[in-house]
Structure 1
Amino acid sequence: MAFESLSDKFQNIFNNLKKKGKLSEADVKAAMREVKMALLEADVNFKVVKDFVNAVKERAIGDEVMESLTPGQHVIKIVNEEMVALMGSDESELTFTTGGGPTIYMMVGLQGAGKTTTSAKLAGLLKKKGKKPLLVACDIYRPAAIKQLQVVGEQLSIPVFSMGNQNKPIDIAKAALEHGSKNHHDLIILDTAGRLHIDETMMDELIELKEVIKPKETLLVVDAMTGQDAVHVAELFNEKIGVDGVILTKLDGDTRGGAALSVKAVTQKPIKFAGMGEKLSDLEVFYPERMASRILGMGDVLTLIEKAQSNIDQKKASEMERKFRKAEFNFEDFLEQMQQLKSMGSLSDLMAMIPGMSAQMKNVQIDDKEMAKMEAMILSMTVEERNDPNVINVSRKNRIAAGSGNKIQDVNRFIKQFEQSKKMMKQMSGMMGKKGRRGGKGMFGNLPF
């Protein structure tokens, strides 16, 4: 799960702060030492950590916090605000060409960062918003790079312009612009070549390409899981060719968070998007406020709702909400929900977006492999068992275990987890429903629970 390690450390620090009725200056300093160690262990840039901790400490030792009735909560609020500021305060939107001519984005980065796939993901995202993109294969060095772009382009029904690997990237780009204009493409995305490491030849080629093509934005793709290496790469690319924004890939697998917390502060360039999975739809706008909330273990309800609205049948979601309220939810419903949840991404990441859910579900196995086991168990049940879990006795459990290739203990654990989840969701549904009745719509009108 993204940021799991850092999030756990912050939760422990915050819990200790909240236990204290009043905070002394020594308490704040002790907490800040723990915050500093947590950030350094998360591979956050040392200077960034130093500046961040000093900023929080300076604000946290003020009279407003020390004399407050809930000083611990005040410190947490300050940490959250400073972390948002660290990552850029507001989301940074892409800019588009106005007054005729296509918008050109030049994608740059090292080999292995996910540049080709990210180019396709970005094209797919903007296609949904009404753009007519053209992908351009300018990577003539990496074996199968052109084929890879053609494959992902075909999956998204987005055309790919290629001239093979015998032409220079600058000639390919020029021809692509001419082709794009003739075919009324208002967006052209150049997938440029990367190397295993930064070298002079690559940089010279990119500088020339940028000078001639004059892209609206140069977007740097970096692998979040490489931590400080990603920050160093971003710094060098920005220094050599100048970038307008950063796209962090593999953020869903980054348990530390070093790159996400350091890139903006070091380069002064915004993080514009985050790759949150392997599917071609797994590219999210980077919202600093939401990301800070995830890192601090406070959830990210807005992103979860957006995912649900994009992937979940709203009529079915409303019916599921009604079933939860009346405690009619059964294994048939659970199976349907698992199918819909799969379309939204990793289950552990989804659960982390619900405030407080990570802590409550910490000892419950809900990873994607576990979901496959659950699915197999439900498919081994009779229609009667799926619709009425109460009829499942020991002999039926043995049959379900044998039919799904699991042990009786697995079936028992699954049924127990099902009942726990059912109770928890019913409680949350009631709580959120009350809020919704005041505001016109409950959270669970949007979510798949």
Structure 2
Amino acid sequence: MFENLSERLSRTLKNVSGRGRLTDDNIKDTLREVRMALLEADVALPVVRDFVKRVKERAVGTEVSKSLTPGQEFIKIVQAELEAVMGASNEDLDLSCQPPAVILMAGLQGAGKTTSVGKLGKLLKERQKKKVLVVSADVYRPAAIKQLETLASDIGIDFFPSSPDQKPVDIAKAALDHGKLKFYDVVIVDTAGRLHVDEEMMGEIKDVHQTINPVETLFVVDAMTGQDAANTAKAFDEALPLTGVILTKVDGDARGGAALSVRHITGKPIKFLGVGEKTDALEPFHPDRVASRILGMGDVLSLIEDLERNVDKEKAEKLAKKFKEKKGFDLEDFRGQLQQMKNMGGMMGMMDKLPGMSQLPDNVKDQVDDKMFVQMEAIINSMTPKERERPEIIKGSRKKRIAMGSGTQVQDVNRLLKQFTQMQKMMKKMQKGGMKNMMRNMKGMMPGGGMFPGR
């Protein structure tokens, strides 16, 4: 996400960070580079013009605070303006009404609307403890109705049945009546998508909107369409009173133009980001955190939230108790760590949120392959409980059996055991409370060191 923009801006801003004073001359080149970086990221031209103008106005002649160098002050200004372009803060869903609160989802075909309905339903159920009902009013694509039904069943939320011979308005009204009758907190209505904006579609969705009077009307748009995302959102906003935007497929968008253009062009906030195919890959949109990621400063707050949500507290306590009692770290513990990492979106998902990771060389990033973690887990799964507890007994014939059972080679098993030994040493250092020693060992665990050896 935002890799290209982040790389370009970080490189550009580095040039100005050591300046003694900000003047028209020494920021002119930097601003030209910033402008080019934004245009290459497919940010809409009016947005770029406005952004550069505001940064320049604030930067030239700025009273630089005593604790910062002028260069750092300039980066602070760029960050603040990035946040302003995307909306000052996260805007949550406004569900404060007589239940059920109705959410209407609109968007073009292929934007990921139906998947987003499922993801949003799961998020409201798990994080806000809401009783959620979903319904599909997409009568033009019978597969869409079936898709939502399957998705709802997988997630564990209720699905209101509909069929292609019904009218969308009737479906939406029946679902709302059922929602009132059965005391649902939220009803999410999925509507039909088209390949382009057309009058018939707009007329139909306006009727549905009028009938059910939703508290939230969310426009779902594919981030990879760049500037077009903002323009389509504007067309929908003229037809419907949109309350917000869900930007999907953000994980596949290295440019980030849509995220920076949508708010400015439509005046509507981005409320969520779709960051992957899994049903929990929907994140509330925090402009300050995204701005931080764009500037290569990471997003530690989101990482902490991921940890709190995904780390199995029981397992973590067990491991902590083991540490206290000075018991060893075995392969069973190692497997547990791999599984938790996988739940957090894998190593790449975590690295995305760590400060400075955008500056890592490509050859190092390539070595951090999440498929490798799947392979490591498969190798450990192929071992007996005794082998996991006492890895030192794994010799020749056992290695062959483990490799065959996990569909890998003996050298893969050797590599895993070597990595595990390094992890074990690091854990021992932690038990002794030597944080400095542990940090020294971490160098060996990071890309380029021993944990991810080049293949």
* Alignment TM-score, normalising by the size of structure 1: 0.84
Q: 1:407 to 1:292 in 2, by over 3 A?
A: farther
Match of residue 244 from structure 2: 245
**Paired position in structure 1 for 2:183:** 184
Q: Is the 8 A contact 1:138 1:193 kept in 2?
A: yes
Equivalent residue, structure 1, for 2:374: 372
Corresponding residue for 1:298?
297
User: What residue is the counterpart of 1:348 in the other structure?
Assistant: 348
Relative to structure 1, the CA distance from residue 357 to residue 422 in structure 2 (aligned partners, 3 Å threshold; closer, same or farther) is: farther
Deviates more, 1:251-260 or 1:332-341: 332-341
Tell me the equivalent position of 1:48.
Answer: 47
Structure 1 residues 432, 203: CA separation in 2 closer, same or farther (over 3 Å shift)? farther
Question: Structure 2 matches for 1:171-320, cutoff 5 A?
Answer: 171-317=170-316
Q: Deviations over 1:146-173 (max 9, x none)?
A: 1011001111222211231101100111
Look up the SS of the partner of 1:64 in the other structure. Answer: coil
Instruction: Give the 3-state SS of the residue equivalent to 2:17 in structure 1.
Output: helix
Change (3 A) 1:29 1:175: same
Q: Distance in 1 between matches of 2:23 and 2:392?
A: 54
Q: Contact between 1:364 and 1:417, CA under 8 Å: does it hold in 2?
A: no
| RMSD of Structure 2 on Structure 1 (CA) | 3.6
Q: Which amino acid aligns with 1:196?
A: L
Partner of 1:74: 73
Assess, with a 3 A threshold, how the Cα gap between structure 1 residues 162 and 380 changes in structure 2: closer, same or farther: closer
Partner of 1:112: 110
Pair 1:278–1:409, CA change in 2 (3 A): closer
TM-aligned CA distance change 1:92 to 1:379, over 3 Å: same
Q: Indicate the SS of the match to 1:198.
A: coil
Residue of structure 2 in register with 1:127 after alignment: 125
Deviations 1:175-223 (Å, cap 9, x if unpaired)? 1122111111121111111111111110010111112221112110111
CA distance in structure 1 between the aligned counterparts of 2:390 and 2:73, rounded to whole angstroms: 48
SS at match of 1:43: coil
**Cα distance in 1 for residues equivalent to 2:345 and 2:389:** 27
Which amino acid in the other structure matches residue 370 of structure 2?
A: D
58-67 vs 171-180, which moves further: 58-67
Q: 1:43 Cα shift? A: 0.7
State the alpha-carbon separation in 2 of the partners of residues 302 and 429 from structure 1: 23
Q: Could you tell me how far 1:386 is from its partner in structure 2?
A: 6.2
CA distance in 2, matches of 1:432, 1:75: 36
- Distance across 2 between alignment mates of 1:174 and 1:340: 42
Compute the displacement of 1:398 (Å): 9.1
Counterparts of 2:131 and 2:438, CA distance in 1: 40
Equivalent pairs counted in the alignment come to 431
The alpha carbon displacement at 1:268 in A equals 0.3
Counterpart in the other structure of 1:35 = 34
Structure 1 residue 13 displacement after superposition? 1.8
| CA deviation string 1:94-149 (max 9, x = no partner) | 11243x34211111001111111111211221122122111111000013011011
Change (3 A) 1:155 1:395: closer
Give me the whole-angstrom Cα distance separating, in 2, the residues matched to 1:95 and 1:226.
28
AA aligned to 1:405 is: T
User: Is the 8 Å Cα contact of residues 60 and 66 (structure 1) preserved in structure 2?
Assistant: no
In 1, distance between residues paired with 2:132 and 2:292? 33
Instruction: Give the SS at the match of 1:144.
Output: helix
Task: Pick closer, same or farther for the CA change 1:59–1:280 going to 2, 3 Å.
Answer: same
Counterpart in the other structure of 2:448:
none
- Take 2:14 and 2:387, find their aligned partners in 1: how far apart are those partners? 42
Q: State the identity %.
A: 50
Provide closer, same or farther for how the CA distance between residues 25 and 423 of structure 1 changes in structure 2, counting only shifts above 3 A. farther
> Given the superposition, is the C-alpha separation of residues 345 and 159 from structure 1 closer, same or farther in structure 2, using an over 3 Å criterion?
same
* Aligned equivalent of 2:443: none
Runs (5+) with no aligned partner, structure 1:
434-449
